[in-house]
Amino acid sequence: MKRLFVSLRFSIMVWIMMVVFAALASMIYFTDSLRRADVHDIANEAVEKTAVEVEAHSRLAGGHASSAQLIETYLSHEVPEANEVLVGVIDDRFVFQQLDSLTRPDVDARAFSPMVRSIVIGDESSGITDGIHWGKITVPSESGLDYVVVLVSTEQVYADLNRQTLIFAGLGLISLSLAAAIAWVISSRIIAPVRQVAHVAERISQSNLTTRVPVHGDDEVAQLARTFNHMMDRIDEAYRAQRQFIDDAGHELRTPITIVRGNLELLDTATPEERERSLELCISELDRMTRMVNDLLTLAIAESADSDFLNIEEVDLSQLTIDIDDKAHMLTNGRSEVVGIGEGTIACDPARITEAVLEFVRNAAKYSPQDSPIRITSSIDGTHARFCVTDFGPGVEKSQQEALFQRFHRGTLEKKEQPQGNKAVPGSGSKGAGLGLSIVQAIAQAHGGRVIISSPEGAENKSQGATFGIEIPIESTVTR
C-alpha cells in the first residue's frame, strides 16, 4: 500500500496548531471550571451567611419575642442579595421577601412554593435543587417548628458564564487562525535550508559535484548545511581520486599490454634468439602487471573500513629493527646499516611496518650512488615510535615531496655524476608502478600515524640525500 506523502512544512504547521489548540482549550476549560467553582462557593456562602444572621437575630431577641415575630422582624429588615429569595414559614404560612434579580419580573416568588414545601418537610438542612442552592434554618415555636428558608439561584450566573465561555472560544478560534498563518510562515522559514539541500542534491550529477548549499547563521539547520557541504567535499575528492586512479591505472596497464601483444605478434617471424628475448620481455611485463594489481589490492584493502588490513600485536622495537635490517641487507647487497635502535615495546603490525621500511630502502637503493650507505634508524620519542631510512642521493625538493605519495607518481631525478664512475639511478628508469609510497602512507595512517620526509635545501646540500620515515603511536590507535 502506497503511503500518503505529507510535507515537512505541513507537519510542522500541524504540530504548532496542536500545541496552540491544546494551550487555548486548556486555558478556557480551567478558567471556566474555576469560575463555576467560585459561583458555587459564593452561593453556599450566601446560604451560610443567612443561617448565621438568623441565629444571631434569635440570640439578640432572646426569649421576649415569638418565632413569628422574630421571623417577620428579620424579613422586614433584611435585604436579600442578588438572585436570592428569603421565605419565612410560620405555621405552614409562607412569608416572602425577594429581590427582582432572582426571577423574571413576571414570575411571582410563590412559584417557588412547591420547592419550599418540599424543603420544609424534608430532613436535609441544605442542598442544591435544579441549580438553586438552599438552606433551611429552624426557629422553634410554641406550636412546633417555624423556618427561614433561603434560596440562591445560580442559573443566570451560569448562563452569563456560558456566554463568556463562548466568547472566549470564539477569540480562541481567531487566535488559532492567526497561529496557523504564523506557523505557515515559520515552517516555511525553517524548511527553506532543507529545500536548498534537496535542490542542490537534485542538481548534483557525476559531472557536477561542485554545487554547495549556502550557509546562513549558526543554528542546527546551518550545521546541517555545513555537514552536507563537507560530505560533498569528501565525495568530490573521492570522485576526483577515482577518476584519476582509473586514468592512471588504464595508462599504466596499457603499456605492458601493448608490449606483450607486440612481442607475441612477432613470434611467428622471429628467430630463436628473438623469441627467447620476446618471452623474457613478456614475462617481465606480466610480472610488473601482477605487482601493480597486488599493490592496488593492498591499497583497496587498506581503504576498506571492514577489512583486516592490520594484525596488531605487542612487538619489541629493537628486535623488529634488527629483523628489518637483515632483510634490507639482502635487498641492497650489504649497503644498509643500522645506526640507531630504539628500545621498548610498541603495538603495531610488524609485517606492515617491515613492508613500509623496506619500500624506503628500495627507493634509497634506486636513487642513490651504488657505493653510498643506506642508514636505518629506529627510536622512541614520548608516545611515538619512528623508523627512518636515510640515503645520500640527490634529495627531494620540497615542492615535490607531497606528490611522491600520490598513486602512480614516479619521481624524475637528474643523473648525477659521481666520483670513481658511480652514478645515481634516475627515477625515470624505474620499472615500478609508483604505488609503493602510497602503500606506505596507507600503512602509517592505518596505524594512526604519519609519513615523514626531510631533505636538505640548497645547491650545497644536493648530495646529502633524503630521509624517509614512518611515525606511529606506541599504543594501538588503529584507524580506518
Q: Do both 17 and 134 map to the same domain?
A: yes
Q: What is the mean pLDDT of residues 392-407?
A: 75
Residue 345 pLDDT class (50, 70, 90 cuts):
very high
DSSP letter assigned to residue 131: T
What pLDDT score does 322 carry?
A: 92
The helix (run of H) or strand (run of E) holding residue 251 is helix 220-265
For the stretch 52-82, pLDDT in tens is 888 888 777 666 568 888 888 888 878 777 7
What pLDDT score does 306 carry?
A: 53
Q: Does the pLDDT at position 14 exceed 60?
A: yes
Q: Do both 272 and 364 map to the same domain?
A: no
Q: Do both 155 and 30 map to the same domain?
A: yes
Q: Do both 244 and 358 map to the same domain?
A: no
Residue 457 pLDDT class (50, 70, 90 cuts):
low
What pLDDT score does 409 carry?
A: 64
Burial class (CB in 10 A: 0-12, 13-18, 19+), 96: middle
For the stretch 258-275, pLDDT in tens is 888 888 888 888 888 888
Q: What is the C-alpha to C-alpha distance for residues 53 and 148, in angstroms, rounded to an integer?
A: 11
Q: What is the mean pLDDT of residues 248-262?
A: 78
Q: Does the pLDDT at position 242 exceed 80?
A: no
| Model pTM score | 0.48
Q: Do both 24 and 83 map to the same domain?
A: yes
Q: What is the C-alpha to C-alpha distance for residues 150 and 148, in angstroms, rounded to an integer?
A: 7
User: Which of 242, 272, 303 lies at the terminal end of a domain, its last residue?
Assistant: 303
Rounded alpha-carbon distances, angstroms, from residue 220 to 13, 186, 215, 258? 19, 15, 11, 56
In a domain, 1, yes or no: no
In a domain, 425, yes or no: yes
Q: Does the pLDDT at position 21 exceed 50?
A: yes
In a domain, 214, yes or no: no
Write out the three cell numbers for 109. 416568588
Q: Which of 50-54, 166-170, 339-343, 394-398 has the lowest mean pLDDT?
A: 394-398
Q: What is the C-alpha to C-alpha distance for residues 282 and 290, in angstroms, rounded to an integer?
A: 12
Rounded alpha-carbon distances, angstroms, from residue 467 to 154, 249, 382, 388? 101, 28, 21, 7
User: In degrees, to the nearest 5, what angle opens at C-alpha 301 toward C-alphas 298 and 307?
Assistant: 145
Domain interval for residue 329: 313-473
Cα pseudo-dihedral 332, 335, 341, 346, rounded to 10? -10
What pLDDT score does 426 carry?
A: 34
DSSP letter assigned to residue 379: E
Rounded alpha-carbon distances, angstroms, from residue 151 to 111, 113, 117, 191? 12, 11, 12, 62
User: Which of 159, 183, 199 lies at the terminal end of a domain, its last residue?
Assistant: 159
Rounded alpha-carbon distances, angstroms, from residue 153 to 80, 100, 156, 158, 159? 12, 12, 7, 10, 11
Q: What is the C-alpha to C-alpha distance for residues 117 and 471, in angstroms, rounded to an integer?
A: 107
User: Between 41 and 213, whose confidence is greater?
Assistant: 41
Q: Do both 377 and 434 map to the same domain?
A: yes
CATH code for the domain of 120: 3.30.450
CATH code for the domain of 397: 3.30.565.10
Q: What is the C-alpha to C-alpha distance for residues 412 and 424, in angstroms, rounded to an integer?
A: 12
Q: What is the C-alpha to C-alpha distance for residues 46 and 80, in angstroms, rounded to an integer?
A: 10
Residue with cell 628500495: 362
For the stretch 74-117, pLDDT in tens is 888 787 777 888 888 888 788 877 654 444 444 455 666 788 88
In a domain, 183, yes or no: no
For the stretch 309-318, pLDDT in tens is 788 899 999 9
Provide the mean pLDDT of the chain: 79
Q: Do both 252 and 398 map to the same domain?
A: no
What pLDDT score does 378 carry?
A: 94
Question: What is the percent of the chain with per-residue pLDDT over 90, rounded to a whole number?
Answer: 17
Q: What is the mean pLDDT of residues 240-256?
A: 73
What pLDDT score does 102 carry?
A: 45
Write out the three cell numbers for 190. 525553517
Count how many residues are written for the chain. Answer: 480
User: Between 380 and 428, whose confidence is greater?
Assistant: 380
In a domain, 480, yes or no: no
Q: Do both 379 and 419 map to the same domain?
A: yes
In a domain, 119, yes or no: yes
Q: What is the mean pLDDT of residues 120-140?
A: 86
Q: Do both 284 and 328 map to the same domain?
A: no
Q: Do both 436 and 289 map to the same domain?
A: no
Q: What is the mean pLDDT of residues 351-378?
A: 90
How many CA atoms are closer than 13 Å to the CA of 151, on its beta-carbon side? 29
What pLDDT score does 376 carry?
A: 94
Q: Does the pLDDT at position 427 exceed 70?
A: no
DSSP letter assigned to residue 23: H
Q: What is the mean pLDDT of residues 33-44?
A: 90
In a domain, 201, yes or no: no
User: Which of 159, 190, 206 lies at the terminal end of a domain, its last residue?
Assistant: 159
For the stretch 145-186, pLDDT in tens is 888 888 888 888 888 899 999 999 999 899 888 988 888 888
In a domain, 137, yes or no: yes
Q: What is the mean pLDDT of residues 438-450?
A: 88
Domain count, the chain: 3
Contacts of residue 139, defined as CB under 8 A and 6 or more positions apart, other chains included, come to 54, 58, 67, 70, 71, 145, 146, 147, 148
Cα pseudo-dihedral 413, 418, 424, 429, rounded to 10? 80
Q: Is residue 426 within 8 Å of residue 457, measured between CB atoms? A: no
